[in-house]
Chain A
Amino acid sequence: MAIVRGQKSNESDANTSTPATSWTTAPAAGSKVIVWLWGSSTATPTMSDNGSPSRTFTLAASKTDATNTLGIWIFYGDDVRPSGTYTVTATFGAANSFSIGGLAYTGVVAGGPEATNNNTGTGTSVSSGAVTGTGAEDLYAGGFVDNANGPDTITTGGGFTEEFELADGTTFDEGGGADKIGVTGSQTASWTLTNSRTWSSCIACWLAQSVGGLGSIRPGLTWQRYYWKGIRHPWWRAAEPIVTAPAVSLVAGSSYPRNPNRNR
């Protein structure tokens, strides 16, 4: 299944202990939501939404800088159920400068990332480090924060799309969040700054949802109609190439084979 970007939230930069981001148009129910959060803390916050039911978000990747008291966090929430103005809120123990933004996706597996990485350094070139996606198509989400006390021009690289950005570290912390979809293999999120900064970055990647083990079955057709007693029904014999039937077992009292997916 293809990964598709859905609705994006309004980026919010605030001096607060509860950074929150709201969507003008709510994400589609069932979406996976990725939230980028960066700012002046090394503590890991909690995060949840105001959906019905509410979802607790899980940390996917992060990198903190104790010297400059900075952090970048990437959270995810699965199967969101927006109700009203959809809002995701992080909670820290103390007020500081934070930036937060989220983006909904469909076609991404539920649960945690298949790979993560993080990196830190000083200079004008920011790199998350590489992660390797193993699917036919993956979602990559990377972010960074730096110690700028003034403005920069930020250029996103690595073929990533900038989703959120704060290019002035005067009032809030400079940083950004970017993503990349429709690709797989080793990917690295990167940014170029106009001034040398000390930066922290992280990245995570997720697999696309599988179409299942019986991918040759047409939409709306059950596996029983496709495989009858382990033999593909002749209705499809002429229309599609021969494939190997999956292992099946009989249910007691029935001549119908058991759906092999139920045994997983």
Chain B
Amino acid sequence: MPTVTIFPIDVTTTTPRLSQTVNYTGSGAALFRALSNTWATDDPAIVVSFAVEQSFDGGTNWQTMCPTTWTPQSFAKDGGLPALQCTAGDVLGSRLLRGNLSASATISVGVTATV
């Protein structure tokens, strides 16, 4: 499965950033992981909100599929930056996915997707 950067590392604020879309077949897992060069020293009081959104009509309408929050200086079990893995519980098949990224205070962060 290819890994693509859906959000390059960039200034992120309370204003949501919406990513490019990726195709998802509706089965198996889609993995999203934070990107940052300063995560280990960023303020842990900042809350980074990331949600995977899905669309069944080619991108006209979007709904939240998997929401989560990440905080600087917290890491994944494998030692990497925090991740979110999302697996559809429905049987509605193929859809588009995109990311919705924001933060409670200004921080430089991005996200990759492996779908």
Interface size in chain B (residues, C-beta < 8 A) = 28
B76, A12: Cβ atoms under 8 Å?
Answer: no
Interface residue B74 (Cβ < 8 Å from any Cβ of A): yes
Q: How many A-B contacts are there with CB distance less than 8 Å? A: 104
Q: Please, how many angstroms separate the alpha-carbon atoms of A15 and B84 in the complex? A: 7
Chain A residues within 8 Å of chain B by Cβ, number: 34
A10-B82 contact in complex given A20-B68, A87-B67, A97-B76, C-beta closer than 8 Å: no
* B107 interface residue per 8 A CB criterion: no
Among the listed B63, B71, B80, B92, which residue makes an inter-chain contact with A95, where contact means beta carbons less than 8 Å apart? B71
Q: Any chain A CB within 8 A of the CB of B86?
A: yes
Give the complex CA separation of A25 and B89 in angstroms: 10
Check if A24 sits within 8 Å of B65, measured CB to CB. Answer: yes
Contact yes or no, A15 B74, CB < 8 A:
yes
Interface of B is mostly: strand
Across the interface, which residues of B come within 8 angstroms of A18, CB to CB? 68-69
Q: Is the CB of B77 within 8 A of A15?
A: yes
B57 within 8 A of A: no
1/0 per position for A93-123, CB-CB distance to B under 8 A?
Answer: 0111100010100000000000000000000
Is the CB–CB distance between A11 and B77 below 8 Å?
no
Task: Kindly list chain A residues whose C-beta atoms are within 8 Å of the C-beta of B88.
Answer: 10, 24
Q: Could you jot down 27 A-B contacts, CB within 8 Å?
A: A7-B89, A9-B89, A11-B87, A11-B89, A12-B84, A14-B66, A15-B82, A15-B84, A16-B69, A16-B82, A16-B84, A17-B74, A18-B68, A18-B69, A20-B66, A20-B68, A22-B65, A24-B54, A40-B77, A85-B64, A95-B70, A95-B71, A169-B77, A170-B77, A170-B78, A171-B78, A171-B85
A interface residue numbers (CB < 8 A to B): 7-25, 40, 85, 87, 94-97, 101, 103, 166, 169-173
Q: Beyond the given A12-B85, A14-B82, please list 5 additional residue pairs across the A-B interface where CB-CB is below 8 A.
A: A12-B67, A14-B84, A18-B68, A23-B89, A95-B70
B-side residues, CB < 8 A to A, are 29, 31, 54, 63-71, 74-78, 80, 82-90, 92
